[in-house]
Structure formats: C-alpha cells, structure tokens
Structure 1
Amino acid sequence: MSPTRLSTVVLDTHDAHKLAGFYLRLLGYVIRAEEPGWVLIGPPDGGTALSFQTEPAYVPPEWPSRWPEEQQMMMHLDIEVDDLETETARAVAEGATLHEYQPQDDVRVLCDPAGHPFCLWRQE
C-alpha cells in the first residue's frame, strides 16, 4: 500500500450541513463523520469521500470566467450517470440549478446550492 492516499475532497460553503444534505440525496451517500461546521460523507460501501466545511467568508465561484477580479472556479466534480435527462431533473429537484452555459451534448453543467459547478455526464 502506498504511504499516501486521497481520502476526501473538501468543499467550502456557508453551511456545511446544508450542502452535505444536498450531496447525500444526490449521490446516495451516508454521513461518515460530522461536527459543528464540518461533515464527511461517502459511499455506503467505502471509497473516496466528500467533506463540507463552513466558511463564513465563502464566495461562490464564477464559471466560465468573465472577469479577473471574480472568484474563479478551481475545481469541479464530474458525476457519471446512466440517464442524463432524468438525473439532471432529479438534481434540479434536489436544489441544483442548471447553468446557462452548456458546452457539450453529453454533459450537463449545474451548480449546487452553494454555487459550486458540477457536471453530470454519460458515457456515449
């Protein structure tokens, strides 16, 4: 085994518990650990997790970039789905918003309730 391994990706937000709830519903994950201002979720059978950290000064990212002084997107999540239209509608029903810019036919760019862009995509 490698002496290092990626265990989680952390997303900052105004409310860690609220954003964790969105991804719990979207991905079917479970809570692995939580404390005030921080939540760790992951697949029920193990695997790489997502963490959410409350950051009072959080500024939602802007994508695609328009102005250099705006908070830029530094990363995003790619989530593979079997049915792009159904899962896009479900994500919106859970609180995501469909982004106005859609660069590809087999990908839907959405923003989570805290404004982080993420992509739903299907293998063609």
Structure 2
Amino acid sequence: MTTAPAPDAAAPSGPPPLTMTGTVLDAPDPHALAGFYRRLLGWAVTMDEPDWVKLIPPGGGPGLAFQAEAAFVRPSWPAAPGVQQMMMHLDIETPDLPASVAHALSLGATLADFQPQPDARVLLDPAGHPFCLWTPTHS
C-alpha cells in the first residue's frame, strides 16, 4: 500500500502571481510597425532588438510589442472563408474620432471598407492588422 505525500505547508494556496505585460503583433518589419504605433499613440520604445521592439505608455501599464515573422500573412477584414482571419484587434479610445482617424491615415493607416458601427472606425495598420478607433457614446 502506498501513502500520499504529506501536504507542503509552504505551498501557495492560489495561483502564482501573474502580470500582463503587453500584446505582441507579428510583422514582416517590426521596426516599421513599431514606428507607426509610436507616432500614433505617442508611446516610448523600451526594447529595440533586431527582431523585436516594445513600446510602453507614458503612465506605465501593459505595452505593445512587435516581433519579426517572415511568414506573416495580412489578415482579412472582415473575415472571409479561405483567407487569413484576424486573430485579434486593438481598441483605441479617442475623444475626437474624426481627428484621430485623420491622424492615423496621415501615418500610413488605411480605412477599412467595412465599418460595423457609427461610433468607431476600423483601420488597418501598415502591416494589415485591424485596429479600432472609437469614441464613447452617451445616451
């Protein structure tokens, strides 16, 4: 007969502490895409390596990173059968939707053909990742 090991009194009672540090986007040129988001958001570069760039917001918090991926395929927006689908998108709040859209377009974003709602605009970054600029609506 075997006996179960004695419980370890020092074992943690819950999950280990975890901290979300950021979101990572694949890109054929991570430096170019990081430059777009740096200018769009006004965030600072904190890591700059040959295949990796990370940005952080001025007040701290989770950042946005970009990694080189030679096999990157631009996602389709909206989703369509048989083509690369979007795996995620970024939601970026703004108090002035028209000015923010104009700013993003001036940096190299493109306005998506399909716009699902009036208080948001779907744009594509230079690598083709969809992102939403949106403004809160009040009822």
Bucket of the pairwise TM-score, normalised by the shorter protein? over 0.9
- Contact residue 22 and residue 64 of structure 2 kept, 8 A: yes
- Kept after mapping to 1: 8 A contact 2:77/2:112: no
Structure 1 residue 10 corresponds to structure 2 residue 24: yes
**Equivalent residue for 1:33?**
47
What whole-Å deviation, never above 9, does each CA across 1:7-50 have from its counterpart, x for those lacking one?
01000000000000000000000001111010000112311100
Q: CA deviation at 1:65?
A: 1.3
- Per the alignment, residue 52 of structure 1 pairs with 66
Q: Match for residue 74 of structure 1? A: 87
Whether 2:56 is the aligned partner of 1:42: answer yes
Cα distance between partner residues in 2 of 1:34 and 1:47: 18
2:113 is equivalent to residue 100 of structure 1: yes
Please identify the structure whose Cα radius of gyration is greater.
2
**What's the TM-score once normalised by structure 1's chain length?**
0.96
Shift of 1:95: 0.5
Q: Distance in 2 between matches of 1:14 and 1:87?
A: 25
Distance of 2:34 and 2:66 partners within structure 1: 6
**What is the rounded CA distance, in whole Å, between the counterparts of 1:79 and 1:27 in structure 2?**
9
1:121 aligns with 2:134: yes
Q: Which amino acid aligns with 1:66?
A: A
Which residue type is aligned with residue 121 of structure 2? R
> How many corresponding residue pairs?
122
**Structure 1: which amino acid aligns with 2:23?**
V
